[in-house]
Amino acid sequence: MSVVVVATITPKPEHVDEVRQAVLEAVPKVHEEPGCERYALHEGRGVLIMVEQWESPEALATHGKAEALTALSGKLEGKLTERPAVQVLTAHPAGDPAKGAL
């Protein structure tokens, strides 16, 4: 079963555009990583949200050490209010299988 991750990135107000651009530049590189099923940027009130889906815990662990994420971390240094909040989620599918889980 796939691993779903939500990462919340909170840029300092003066760095929102820079942080968004850095993440957008990293997305195509992450899409090419083995096991990446979804890596999508969304934006809310003052936060950027990454919705991720990996084919396995091993693929997620490899992503955590991959060059794209390492380079992105360097670009974000000093531009966030706090470390990104990363949550690995457990699915509880219900209802229509096509709509009840990622």
Residue 67 lies inside a defined structural domain of this protein: yes
Residue 98 lies inside a defined structural domain of this protein: no
Residue 100 lies inside a defined structural domain of this protein: no
Residue 96 lies inside a defined structural domain of this protein: no
Write out the residue range of the structural domain in which residue 37 sits.
3-91
pLDDT for 102: 85
Residue 15 lies inside a defined structural domain of this protein: yes
The residues, ordered by sequence, that sit 6+ positions from 100 with a Cβ below 8 Å of its Cβ are 93, 94
Tens digit of each residue's pLDDT, the chain (102 residues): 799 999 999 999 999 999 999 999 999 999 999 999 999 999 999 999 999 999 999 999 999 999 999 999 999 999 999 999 999 999 888 999 889 888
What pTM did the predictor assign? 0.91
pLDDT for 23: 98
